[in-house]
A and B are shown apart, each in its own frame.
Chain A
Amino acid sequence: MHRVVVIGASLAGLRAAQAVRSVGHDGALVVVGDEAHLPYTRPPLSKQLLAGEQTHHDCAFPAVDTLDADWRLGAAATGLDRASKTVTLADGQSLTYDRLIIATGCRARTWPDAPGGVHTLRGIDDALALRAALDAQPQRIAIVGAGFVGCEVAATARKAGVAVTLIDVEAQPLVPLGAELGARCAALHREHGVDLRLGAGVATLRKGGVDLTDGTRVDAEVVLAAVGALPNTEWLAGSGLALDARGGLLCDATLTSVTDDDVLAAGDVVSWPHPLAGGDAVRVEHWTTAAEHGALAGRNALADDASERAGHVAPPYFWSDQYDLKIQAVGFPARGATLTIVDEDGPRLVAEARDAAGRLVGAITFNNAKRLAAYRRQLATEALGAAA
């Protein structure tokens, strides 16, 4: 193995590069990133960094400078030719590889025809721009999309004393949590003074506010579109690599492209069969999955024979911090036929998701990390059994 190229310089790409070195690869290792920045962690971008409690420096991953890698930053990959094993970059460079690891992540979905000045939040430059806008003490921020990013920014803005209108076309915030837990989160945001508009269609995002489809105008100096993320796989068009209908890169359980054994992938872009999803292909946009994928793809990339590669079976885990509420979830709670609250004690709550046969497929806790960890252990064991 002479040359490993990692496309993507965020968490998944970093962990892949670290794994490539840790298993003893002493050949070339190139890491390509579209941002100008060395890898940094993103969860604080909607919370501590946005609140001004942390800096860019605080978010930088440690030990990046001691990793023996050739960093090519500020140049997105623009094309892949598998016949010549060559990746081309936006700045005209081309790189050849023996093994390629694709970790290009997602970008924020933008609102169609949004004018300039409407914020999105994905990278640190986005977060610093939004922070500057909040630091200017606007009368109000309007947030379109009450998913995790939208709700976390709402909480951060309220803590900073900024009035918030949080808008979603759904009848609840945080749809993956189900109706009952979503209603509790809605109540929490309202208790903190958020003007929460649910079931509210957006007609227009404009500079200075949002117009709803019922004719209501929401005036706000700061507007954030927090309407989800799209996988960065357009650059693979023409490569012949199989993508799913939503742009995910189709891989087998070992994070190897179903099209090409020399191409692996990690993080948000991967669509892979998960044992806890009944073997269905899933795409997971969580921090922990990106870290786990990266480490596994890095190791697997160095296997001489694809049959020696290990599968990724860990149950997905994510968290969200809003005010004093820590939401944690493991497995695939949104795929359950039922979601039942099995324990509740003040602000602490435990809910189990089960499939139609009564099998545990996920769990969600509020302010109860220890219980969540126990479910995580249980689901990890079940996933290993299902994958065997």
Chain B
Amino acid sequence: MRVRVDMNLCQSHGECVFPAPDVFELADDDVLIWKEDVAESRRADVEAAVNACPMMAIRIEG
């Protein structure tokens, strides 16, 4: 699956980092960095990250 983040919406709350720390990370300047191609086995935690985002900035494609 592919993970998309709308960086116009992202406010660096870091909510996504908790359920899926292997996918999402805050850089030292607080800007979110993330893996776009993520193994299907990680879907449940990435979905949790989607639901945790207060800005509704994260989408899963495929």
Q: How far is the CB of B16 from the nearest CB of chain A, in Å?
A: 10
Closest A residue, CB atoms, query B17: A373
Asked whether, in the complex, the Cβ of B54 is within 8 Å of the Cβ of A41, the reply is yes
Whole-angstrom CA separation of A131 from B23 in the bound complex = 38
Q: Which of B12-28 contact A (CB under 8 A)?
A: 12-15, 17-18, 26-28
Known: A368-B30, A369-B14, A369-B26. A43 touches B54 (CB 8 A): yes
CA distance A91 to B50 in the complex (A): 35
| Proximity string of chain B (1-37) to chain A, C-beta cutoff 8 Å, 1 when within and 0 when not | 0000000000111110110000000111010000000
Query: A30 contacts the other chain (Cβ, under 8 Å)?
Result: no
> Chain B nearest CB: distance from A96 CB in Å?
29
Stretch at the interface among A139-147, A272-280, A287-295: A287-295
A288 B15 Cβ-Cβ under 8 A: yes
- Contact for B56 among A62, A367, A376, CB less than 8 A: A62
B26:A370 contact, CB within 8 angstroms: yes
* B52 near A288: Cβ-Cβ < 8 Å: yes
Tell yes or no: A111 within 8 A of B by CB.
no
B11 touches A321 (CB 8 A): yes
Give B4 Cβ to nearest chain A Cβ, in Å.
Answer: 13
Pair A373/B54 contact, Cβ less than 8 Å: no
- Known A61-B56, A62-B56, A367-B30: A372·B14 in contact at CB below 8 Å: yes
- The docked-state distance in angstroms from the alpha carbon of A295 to that of B30 is 27
Q: Please, which residues of chain B bring their CB within 8 A of the CB of A328? A: 13
Bound state CA distance, A372 and B11, in angstroms? 14
B18, B26, B27, B54: which contacts A287 (Cβ < 8 A)?
A: B54
- How many residue pairs link A and B with beta carbons under 8 A? The number is 43
Cα A291 to Cα B18 with chains together (Å): 14
Task: State whether the Cβ of A21 lies closer than 8 Å to any Cβ in chain B.
Answer: no
A326 at the interface (CB under 8 A from B): yes
A15 sits at the interface (CB 8 A): yes
Chain A residues, Cβ within 8 Å of B11: 319, 321, 326
- A interface, over-half SS: helix
Instruction: Decide: A326 and B56 in contact? CB cutoff 8 A.
Output: no
Name A370's contact: one of B15, B27, B51 (CB within 8 Å): B27
CA distance A43 to B26 in the complex (A): 21
Which of B26, B52, B56 is in CB contact (< 8 Å) with A373? B26
A60 to chain B: closest residue by CB: B56
Q: Are B51 and A291 in contact (CB under 8 A)?
A: yes
User: A369-B30, A373-B17 are known contacts. Are A326 and B12 too (CB-CB below 8 A)?
Assistant: yes
Asked if A369 contacts B28 (CB within 8 A), the reply is no
Q: Would you give the shortest CB distance from B62 to chain A, in whole angstroms? A: 16
Q: Which residue of B lies closest to A54 (CB)?
A: B9
Query: How far apart are the CA atoms of A356 and B26 in the complex, in Å?
Result: 32
Instruction: Find chain A residues with CB under 8 A from B18 CB.
Output: 373, 376-377, 380
Question: From residue B58, how far is it (CB to closest CB) to chain A in Å?
Answer: 10
In the complex, A18→B11 CA distance in Å?
Answer: 25
A368 to B17, CA, bound (A): 15
Residues of chain B within 8 A of A295, CB atoms compared: 51
In the assembled complex, which residues on chain A have CB atoms less than 8 Å from the CB atom of B28? 370
- Measured between beta carbons, the chain A residues less than 8 angstroms from B13 are 319, 328, 369
Q: Which of B13, B17, B27, B52 has the most CB of A within 10 A?
A: B13
Distance in angstroms between the alpha carbons of A61 and B50 in the assembled complex? 11
Residues of chain A whose beta carbon lies under 8 Å from any beta carbon of chain B = 15, 18, 41, 43, 61-62, 287-288, 291, 295, 317, 319, 321, 326, 328, 367-370, 372-373, 376-377, 380
The 3 closest A-B pairs by CB, nearest first: A373-B14, A369-B12, A369-B30
Q: In the complex, given contacts A287-B54, A326-B12, what are 19 additional A-B residue pairs having Cβ atoms less than 8 angstroms apart?
A: A15-B51, A18-B51, A41-B56, A43-B54, A288-B54, A291-B51, A295-B51, A317-B15, A319-B13, A321-B11, A328-B13, A369-B12, A369-B30, A370-B14, A370-B27, A370-B30, A372-B14, A373-B17, A373-B26
